[in-house]
Every structure is written in structure tokens, then in C-alpha cells.
Amino acid sequence: MYTRAHLQELGSEYEAAVATREVEIYSKYVGEGILVWAKKGVRKISFPVLKKDSYATYSSQGILNKYDPGPIPHEHLPAIIEKVYQTFPDIDVSVSANHLNVSWE
């Protein structure tokens, strides 16, 4: 039989696993978007960001659509911005009115 504390611990582990996977998915999504549009000659793009009080939709595996996950959850922005800077050191990144904006020369 599981104790309440054990169930809470399992729930926390699951939430942490989903959050880590989400950051990876969104980082990949943003990075691939930059590469795709840069190859087409585009020099700036915006990615939608969920408002702080909104929630992403999950399946048992996390985000429902890993190929187009939709708006970035607000709480994942710092990790994604850091990943973008690591991957593309010369890129300009800003956040405005529910969008993550990236531009390059």
C-alpha cells in the first residue's frame, strides 16, 4: 500500500520528468524553427508563449504533439533562452507580449 507521502513523491518525480521533457521538446522545436527559416532567407521569427496562468495540455507521455508543441509554457522560457544562446551564440533573443522573438544577421 502506498502512503500519501509516497504518492506525493511519485507525483513530483512525474512532474519533474514531464517538465524536463517539455524543455527538451520546446528547445528542439525553437532550434529547428530557426534553422528551417534561416535556410529560407528569413532573418527573424517569433514563437508564441503561453500566459503565466495558462496550462499546456498533456497526455500520459507529456506534451500531446512533439512535432508542433504549440505555445511555449512561460515557466520554460529561461531554460529555452539559455539553450538557444548555447546553440546559436550570435543570435538576438527578446521576449515581448507573449512571444519569444529571435533575429540574426
- Is the pLDDT at 1 greater than 80, yes or no? no
Could you list the residue range(s) of the whole structural domain that residue 59 is in? 4-103
- Is the pLDDT at 88 greater than 70, yes or no? yes
More confident residue, 48 or 63: 48
What pLDDT is stored for residue 30 in this prediction? 94
Residues of the chain with pLDDT > 70, as a percent, come to: 85
Give, for 90, the enclosing helix (H) or strand (E): none
Domain count, the chain: 1
pTM of the model: 0.75
Residue 74 vs residues 25, 47, 50, 53, 55: alpha-carbon distances, Å: 14, 12, 6, 9, 9
